[in-house]
Amino acid sequence: MMNNLTHTPLARIGIISDTHMPLRYPHLPESIAQCFADVDLILHAGDVGELWVLDQLSAYAPVVAVHGNDETHEAQRELPYSQVVSVRGTRLLLCHSHHPDYAEEMASRRINAWQPKFERWAAMARRANASIFVYGHTHIPTAHWQAGILLVNPGAIASGSIRMRQIVQSVAVLSLYADQPPQVQHVNLTTCQPFSAALDLEGGFRAAFERYSESILAADLAEVWTEMEGQVLRLMHQPEQAATFERLLEVVISAATPCWLRQKDQITRAEMQAALLAARGDPHIPDSLLDTLLKPLENGA
């Protein structure tokens, strides 16, 4: 009897990240209810999307959340960059883990080795005197000890970009004990089964990312995607073009959503062309911009 009691958790914490709802995924998977049925607290590690996501999660347990780097205006405004959370004597630092500075963030994405990333995340936790660092952003499920700090990423619900699909949608449950180290269990939301999130450290970040994400672009669309994407992203950095950018994003996302929901495998060049042609006459998208975006799709089509 005493042996059983020593292995009873002091607390169980549900961890979720990168929901990106509803733009990049429309709803929470139903299996989350089973995964978080007996947790005491839920931590959302950023890229929430609209704040109703947190309301829905709060049906299972109280929720603490931070913002990510790819958020709605509302979530960016209302949620902090990082948050110290103390549970039954254990201090955790919750942070999406992106660099607030855009140039630093882009530079960090060129680093394939895991060690510099681990060291930065552990240093962030150590500065807060936290023993556990809960983060998102990478879309890669992880439970890794770095210099005495437990680094936990639950994986993701939505894809890391419009052109990708999250192969494994996952969450994690962190169990805290009085007499043993914390334990992390990752759960595949499609199968409702636990799985190993062990990393091939020598394979680097990109190999791990490809284990959990895949392109939804058919070969003919992939050939011209970079040119098209560049035209759209230019609008993102022009405040006066905010309405145009957001509406255009919705058009592209409408073509991608069936792939995210696994109703089809890929988007073809013809399908993207049709989605843009259907937007003609939209008051927020000038026809001249549509012509620019359609040009690479028509060339060689």
- Flag whether pLDDT at 300 surpasses 70: no
In the chain, alpha helices (H) = 2-6, 32-35, 52-57, 73-78, 102-108, 115-127, 204-212, 219-236, 242-260, 269-277, 287-298
Name the pLDDT band for 1 (thresholds 50, 70, 90). Answer: very low
Contacts of 197 (CB under 8 A, 6+ apart): 141, 142, 143, 155, 170, 172, 184, 186
User: Region 96-118: what's the mean pLDDT?
Assistant: 95
* Nearest to 142, CA basis, from 127, 156, 125, 126: 156
User: How open is the CA angle 76-24-282, to the nearest 5 degrees?
Assistant: 90
**What span, in angstroms and rounded, lies between the C-alpha atoms of 16 and 45?**
6
Per-residue pLDDT tens digits for 136-165: 999 999 999 999 999 999 999 999 999 999
3-class secondary-structure state, position 75: helix
Q: Where does 2-215 sit in CATH, by number?
A: 3.60.21.10
b/e burial code for range 5-32 (CB count within 10 A of at least 16 → b):
eeeebebbbbbbbbbbbbbbbeebbebb
Per-residue pLDDT tens digits for 30-77: 999 999 999 999 999 999 999 999 999 999 999 999 999 999 999 999
Name the pLDDT band for 231 (thresholds 50, 70, 90). Answer: confident
**What span, in angstroms and rounded, lies between the C-alpha atoms of 177 and 154?**
19
The dihedrals phi and psi of 254, each to the nearest 5 degrees, come to: -60, -30
- Flag whether pLDDT at 232 surpasses 90: no
Predicted TM-score (pTM) above 0.85: yes
**What span, in angstroms and rounded, lies between the C-alpha atoms of 257 and 253?**
6
Domain boundaries, the chain: 2-215, 219-298
* Nearest to 257, CA basis, from 18, 67, 20: 20
Chain centroid, CA 190 distance in Å = 17
